[in-house]
Amino acid sequence: MNVPAANALFICLVSIGGLCSGPLFAAESPAYSIAAFSADVTVPLGHRSMGILPTKTRTIEDPLDAHGFVLLGPEKPIVLLALDWCEVRNGAYDEWRDALAAVAGTLRERVLVCSLHQHDAPVADSGAQELLDKVGLKGELYDTAFHNECIGRVVRALADSLKSPRPVSHVGIGQAQVEKVASNRRVVAPDGLVSWNRYSASGGDPFLSQAPEGEIDPYLKTISFWRGETPILALHAYATHPMSYYGRGGVSADFVGLARRRRSMDQPQVPQIYVTGCSGDVTAGKYNDGTPLMRQVLADRIYQAMKQSWAATERFRLESVAFRSASFDLPFHEGQAFTRQALERTLADERAKAADRILAAMGLSRLDRVARGEKIDLPCIDFGRAKIVLFPGEAFVEYQLLAQRMSPDSFVLSIGYGECWPGYIPTDAAFRDRFNHDWRWAGPGSEQRIHDALKKVLPENN
């Protein structure tokens, strides 16, 4: 675990101190409790965003936050953390999970870490940065000292939260349709040709703005935790790329972060956590023209759906929590440019663009982990009538809809952007439609691997 010595010592002391033991589970208390925590994880000026954006941070338009909770009960704790970052992948993903697990007194597999995937935010991949350091590109992907500081800040917030967990008696579920935000990247031209070019700010193009929404999940879903009539925490999820505009040097949690903060002002006593659903192929491109005004408009649309989802909440008694996780791997990119030899050539080429060398380093970082047999976890938190499932990378929205079909009698809240090394994870149909992008490291055959993993965590009798 690559954290500073002081943080490592702190983690060790907290773990030995047993903050998860004691009167919390006394007979007169509910079986479950929850501890919410948050911390600032805003990048410093001069830091690169999205891993490869050429314009580095010039201003902080609004801060980047980390929000999470620890669910405590008869079994080992479960941790969920949502970062206002673009992606966390490979070794950096392990660093976050190991640090949080140590403080919470649990196992790595029971720690769910996800990024919201704002593009004016960092990408962290320790293996890639180590490779870049060796070819003179120190700190070009991300600042490892800043990254370690953020881990330390978040684990301290988690440790503090464990001093006063709040008993949970009920879980709430609610959903509301989001108006005029999401649209699928896939559009069909009049000549029948399929295009995947409806990006986040495509609304100024008449054809892309007038094309049908395509396949999306129109609902924002909310799972909440309660003690009797008192709300304790709300977790919101919606499937769309969370960008209005980006790449201009201004760091921002974008419209989803603005909506979350506004909702927090409505209920300051109820921590609000937002996560991005499976949205590799979903953007706001039909409705967003990329102007600053639209950031506020989109934020209001998400905020209104949060309010409506909350108003529609139905509560049920929390009697048990089951945790299941499937470990698997995905095929690596099939292209000749993604072979180890080709990636090593690009990384070593001083004449190549910095962005291309960074992308090559991220690919090599994953190949190194494949060689070591390190896999992806697909976890599920099962409350009976409600489930939370965390998917890797930029899984396409069909995977989220598939999870719902596989568990039709349960309220399934899907989260994307867990372990992010795969980048885009298209379905078989999308591969047939020739989806390709330089942010795709997963290869054909990914759909069957994810389907098999879902069958393990969403068994038919649940």
Q: State the pLDDT at residue 29.
A: 57
Structure tokens at 350: 């001083």
Distances (CA, A) of 431 to 184, 209, 366, 439, 442: 15, 24, 21, 14, 11
d(CA 403, CA 100): 27
Tokens 């108003």 locate to 311
What's the mean per-residue pLDDT of the chain?
Answer: 93
H-only helix segments in 28-89: none
Quick: pLDDT tens for 59-84.
999 999 999 999 999 999 999 999 99
Q: State the pLDDT at residue 462.
A: 47
Residue type, 163: K
> In this structure, are strands 230-238 and 272-276 parallel, antiparallel, or unpaired?
parallel
Q: In what order do the strands lie in the sheet with 32-40?
A: 111-115, 78-83, 65-72, 32-40, 166-168
Q: Among candidates 203, 304, 321, which has minimal Cα distance to 259?
A: 304
**DSSP secondary structure code for residue 380 in this structure:** E
Q: Which residues of the chain have pLDDT under 70?
A: 1-29, 460-462
Q: Phi-psi region for residue 117, left (φ > 0), alpha (ψ -120 to 50) or beta? A: left
d(CA 153, CA 158): 9
| DSSP secondary structure of 38-78 | EEE-PPPTT--STTT-SS---EESS--EEEEEEEESSSS-E
d(CA 251, CA 418): 21
Residue 197's Cβ-count burial label (10 Å; 0-12, 13-18, 19+) is exposed
Q: State the pLDDT at residue 30.
A: 75
Helices H, strands E: what count in the chain? 12, 24
Residue type, 278: C
Q: Where are the domains of the chain?
A: 5-327+374-457
Number of Cβ within a 10 Å radius of residue 250: 17
**DSSP secondary structure code for residue 372 in this structure:** T
Q: Among candidates 265, 276, 181, which has minimal Cα distance to 236?
A: 276
Tokens 């509910």 locate to 30
Q: Among candidates 449, 414, 410, 409, which has minimal Cα distance to 428?
A: 449
Q: Which strand (E) or helix (H) includes residue 294? A: helix 292-311
222 in helix, strand or coil? strand
431 in helix, strand or coil? helix
Q: State the pLDDT at residue 145.
A: 98
